[in-house]
C-alpha cells in the first residue's frame, strides 16, 4: 500500500517519471502497467492521474524528459561549430539515445496514437519533435557555412539525418544485432555528407 506523501508536486511528478522510465527501459510500451508504475513510485494509482491524463500522456512525458536530457548532452559535446568531429559526436549521442530508448520509439512513429491523439493532442508532440530537429538543423546550417555541406534547407537536412538514424535502428533490428549503434556513427556521417554513391573514399 502506498504511504502518505508530503513531497512537493514537482518532486512527486519526477518520481513517477523515473519509475515509468525504469519500467519502459526493460519492457514494451503496450506492456506498461500503470499499477506497476504506481508501486514503483510508491503512490496510489489514482495519483498518477493528477499528473498525467492517461498512459499515452505519461509515455510522452517520459520521452520528452529523456529527450531534454539528450539535448543537454548535445549542447555540451556537439556544438554547432561546422566541423565533422561535432557531427560525429552528435551522431554518437543520437544513436546512443536510440539504443537506450528502443522500446519508446515505435509509439512515436508518424500516425501513432501517441503523436496523433484525439482532440488535436498530437500537435504538441509534433511541435516538440520539431524542436529536436531544429537542433540538427542549426548544426547542419553551421556545416554549410563552413563549406562542409552544400547550402540548402537545413530542416530538410535534419529530416535526412533523423532518417539515417532510423535506418541504422531498423538495420540493427532486422539483423538481430547486439552491436552498439554508436559504432555506426562514422558511417552515418559519411552517408549524410556524401550519400550512397557520392564518395568512394
- Taking residues 163-186, report their average pLDDT: 94
> Which domain range does residue 123 map to?
61-194
Each residue's pLDDT tens digit, 141-157? 999 999 999 889 999 99
Each residue's pLDDT tens digit, 49-79? 999 999 888 988 888 888 888 899 999 999 9
- Do 65 and 139 belong together in one domain? yes
- Do 161 and 70 belong together in one domain? yes
Measured CA to CA, the distance from residue 103 to residue 101 in angstroms comes to 6
CATH of the domain at 126: 1.10.357.10
- Do 119 and 91 belong together in one domain? yes
Is residue 1 assigned to a domain?
no
Number of domains into which the chain is organized: 2
Which distant-in-sequence residues (6+ apart) come within 8 Å of 83 by Cβ?
Answer: 143, 146, 148
Is residue 96 assigned to a domain?
yes
pLDDT of residue 159: 94
26 vs 167, higher pLDDT: 167
Q: Whose CA is closest to 86, among 171, 180, 164, 149?
A: 149
- Do 181 and 125 belong together in one domain? yes
Is residue 199 assigned to a domain?
no
pLDDT of residue 199: 55
pTM: 0.78
- 10 Å Cβ neighbour count for 110? 9
Q: Whose CA is closest to 63, among 109, 1, 3?
A: 109
- Do 20 and 115 belong together in one domain? no
Which distant-in-sequence residues (6+ apart) come within 8 Å of 39 by Cβ?
Answer: 2
pLDDT of residue 2: 52
108 vs 138, higher pLDDT: 138
Amino acid at each position: 500500500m502506498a504511504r502518505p506523501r508530503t513531497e512537493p508536486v514537482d518532486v512527486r511528478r519526477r518520481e513517477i517519471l523515473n519509475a515509468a522510465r525504469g519500467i519502459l527501459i526493460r519492457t514494451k510500451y503496450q506492456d506498461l502497467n500503470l499499477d506497476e508504475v504506481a508501486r514503483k513510485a510508491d503512490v496510489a494509482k489514482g495519483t498518477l492521474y493528477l499528473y498525467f491524463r492517461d498512459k499515452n500522456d505519461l509515455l510522452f512525458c517520459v520521452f520528452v524528459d529523456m529527450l531534454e536530457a539528450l539535448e543537454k548532452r548535445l549542447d555540451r559535446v556537439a556544438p554547432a561549430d561546422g566541423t565533422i568531429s561535432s557531427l560525429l559526436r552528435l551522431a554518437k549521442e543520437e544513436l546512443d539515445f536510440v539504443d537506450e530508448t528502443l522500446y519508446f520509439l515505435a509509439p512515436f512513429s508518424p500516425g501513432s496514437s501517441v503523436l496523433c491523439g484525439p482532440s488535436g493532442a498530437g500537435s504538441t508532440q509534433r511541435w516538440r519533435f520539431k524542436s529536436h530537429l531544429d537542433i540538427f538543423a542549426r548544426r547542419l546550417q553551421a556545416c554549410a557555412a563552413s563549406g562542409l555541406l552544400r547550402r540548402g534547407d537545413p530542416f530538410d537536412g535534419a529530416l535526412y539525418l533523423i532518417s539515417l538514424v532510423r535506418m541504422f535502428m531498423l538495420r540493427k533490428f532486422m539483423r538481430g544485432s547486439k552491436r552498439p549503434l554508436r559504432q555506426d556513427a562514422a558511417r552515418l556521417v559519411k552517408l549524410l555528407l556524401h550519400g550512397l554513391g557520392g564518395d568512394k573514399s
